[in-house]
Structure 1
């Protein structure tokens, strides 16, 4: 059967179409709009403009589904909508105007789905999994393919950009302020105080963008999906607005992460704090995450 999955995230709203046969599935097509829903939250309340943008995007995706006669569609949302004070009302309005039922995934559920989706395509049975999203960051440690600890932290690339960055790119002082909140938030996650892992499995747009930017700057193949954590601080330093970014650096940024120019550095600040906190030397990006985990746990197991 053909199955549509709509992922209403804090930074992007994505839809993917999968062919599901038996216990297996194949992604056929995917679409993405960088809406930045988290930026529409004012004083904890999702504004009407954000609701309207979400409705507009989902209705566009419905047209695609209708064109291909795809009747099976499921949608879920994460940090931007679940954390809003008017979450229930906002979700209800989007459902009423689009005709699509939306599951609100908790932070704990998101961490679990990230783990399920990513580990199906990994060979290592133990490790550290991190998803830096627009409005939250999920961390999972696992042993023998079983979750050991998991948490969802209220820090993300878009929420940091909105809170701290007053222009397109952050200043050094703004990076230090983001670094301070990230360290305090991560330091408060007591279950992870003794965790030390040489390698991080990274999922989500920040790690995808980090790999693309790393490959561009260090002349690595575009298909490379690994980066050394020691490079993260250099990546950040190249694009701090008051440290004299060169034209070549600007070209590299626009070429590799055009849709994440305003959020990639805040995301990298969080990644840098996490890598140093867990004494990690490498990050490997995985393209499978919450959507694939949703299919495994919510659709295939029905």
Structure 2
């Protein structure tokens, strides 16, 4: 028996999953932790990671290390995505993290991130024909699926944090700012010719903002456990109703919504914009939520290599 820790530094959150690996190749999750470190905060057009988010991230990494260090023998797989991928001071950040924590991060390309999203989804949900959307803090990943196979893996350079900062959506969202953000998102979608072939298909959702959408919906419908969202479905009409309601609220009012993390209140409107615009473009009838994504895709790949 051994242990595998996946350390996943996203643009908004740092997540750690520890799996107990059995001799027969099966595995059980024994630890899952998350902290909103928001490494992408304040990067701006210069695309520089700032000191405060860096320090916040390193503190969280050290805290998580203490939680998983006693699992032995342990393999640590550390990956990071859009914010660090785009940062002009990436090398400095990675060197500093390695020096202060000993953690060596692999920077995933956009295509790799999208592929692991696909792998994580198809190993836990029966997906035949759909479009997978993962909304992160500084990027969105899009994967068209036909007959259970991915047709493309795409990463676009915008996300919940970057859209919120660029279009001033943190507090009371103004209609002209929302319209400007929608125009930008649609211009990015227009670069994807395969979207035309995905019309009428459901969208499978990953990412923190999308998980918040599921929890808010389950709370509104009086579901017993709002955290049980894997495989949960919503029609587009409900998605639009929730989004429109959020747009009418101040940041303070959003902070008090059950199902929405307080730390995500300033980026929930921007975090749902990629989804709303995608569903309108595709005339998609519904969304299906997935709890499995990049981390689960990496676990599936690593374990398949071990088994071979």
Q: TM > 0.5 between the two?
A: yes
Paired position in structure 1 for 2:242: 235
**Corresponding residue of 2:291:** 287
Q: What TM-score do you get using the length of structure 1 for normalisation?
A: 0.91
Q: Using a 3 Å threshold, how does the CA distance of structure 1 residues 163 and 294 change in structure 2: closer, same or farther? A: same
CA 1:81/1:251 → structure 2, altered by over 3 Å: closer, same or farther?
Answer: closer
Any idea what the Cα deviations from partners look like across 1:153-203, whole Å, max 9, x if unmatched?
112111111111254342222221211111111112223233214311111
Indicate conservation of the 8 Å contact 2:141/2:153, yes or no.
yes
- Closer, same or farther in 2 for the Cα pair 1:259/1:4, shift >3 Å? same
Q: Which of 147, 151, 168 does residue 148 from structure 1 map onto? A: 151
Cα root mean square deviation, aligned: 2.2
What CA deviation, in whole Å up to 9, does each residue of 1:41-84 have, x standing for no partner?
24211122222222111111111122444632111000010111
Residues 177, 129 of structure 1: alpha-carbon distance in 2 compared, 3 angstrom cutoff: same
| Equivalent residue pairs, number | 299
1:13 counterpart residue number: 14
Query: Would the aligned equivalents of 2:256 and 2:262 in 1 still touch at CA under 8 Å?
Result: no
Taking structure 1 as reference, are residues 167 and 207 closer, same or farther at Cα in structure 2, changes over 3 Å only?
Answer: closer
CA contact (8 A) 1:8 1:78 kept: yes
Greater mean deviation of Cα atoms: 216-225 or 151-160 = 216-225
After the TM superposition, which residues 240-255 of structure 1 pair with which residues of structure 2 at under 5 Å, given as runs?
Answer: 240=247, 243=248, 250=254, 253-255=257-259
Match of 1:36 in 2: 38
Contact 1:107/1:151 (CA < 8 Å) preserved in 2?
Answer: yes
TM-superposed CA distance for 1:274, in Å, is: 0.6
Task: Measure how far apart 1:255 and its partner are.
Answer: 4.6
Deviates more, 1:80-89 or 1:104-113: 80-89
User: Structure 2 CA distance, aligned partners of 1:185 and 1:235?
Assistant: 24
2:82 aligned partner: 79
**Structure 2, gaps ≥5 residues long:** none
Which of residues 245, 263, 275 is equivalent to 1:271?
Answer: 275
Q: Normalising by the residue count of structure 2, what TM-score does the alignment of the two structures yield?
A: 0.89
Which range moved further: 96-105 or 42-51? 42-51
Asked if 1 retains the 8 angstrom alpha-carbon contact of 2:219 and 2:258, the reply is no
Counterpart pick for 2:264 among 250, 260, 263: 260
Asked if 2 retains the 8 angstrom alpha-carbon contact of 1:6 and 1:15, the reply is: yes
| Equivalence for 1:180 | 183
C-alpha distance in 2 between matches for 1:197 and 1:262: 31
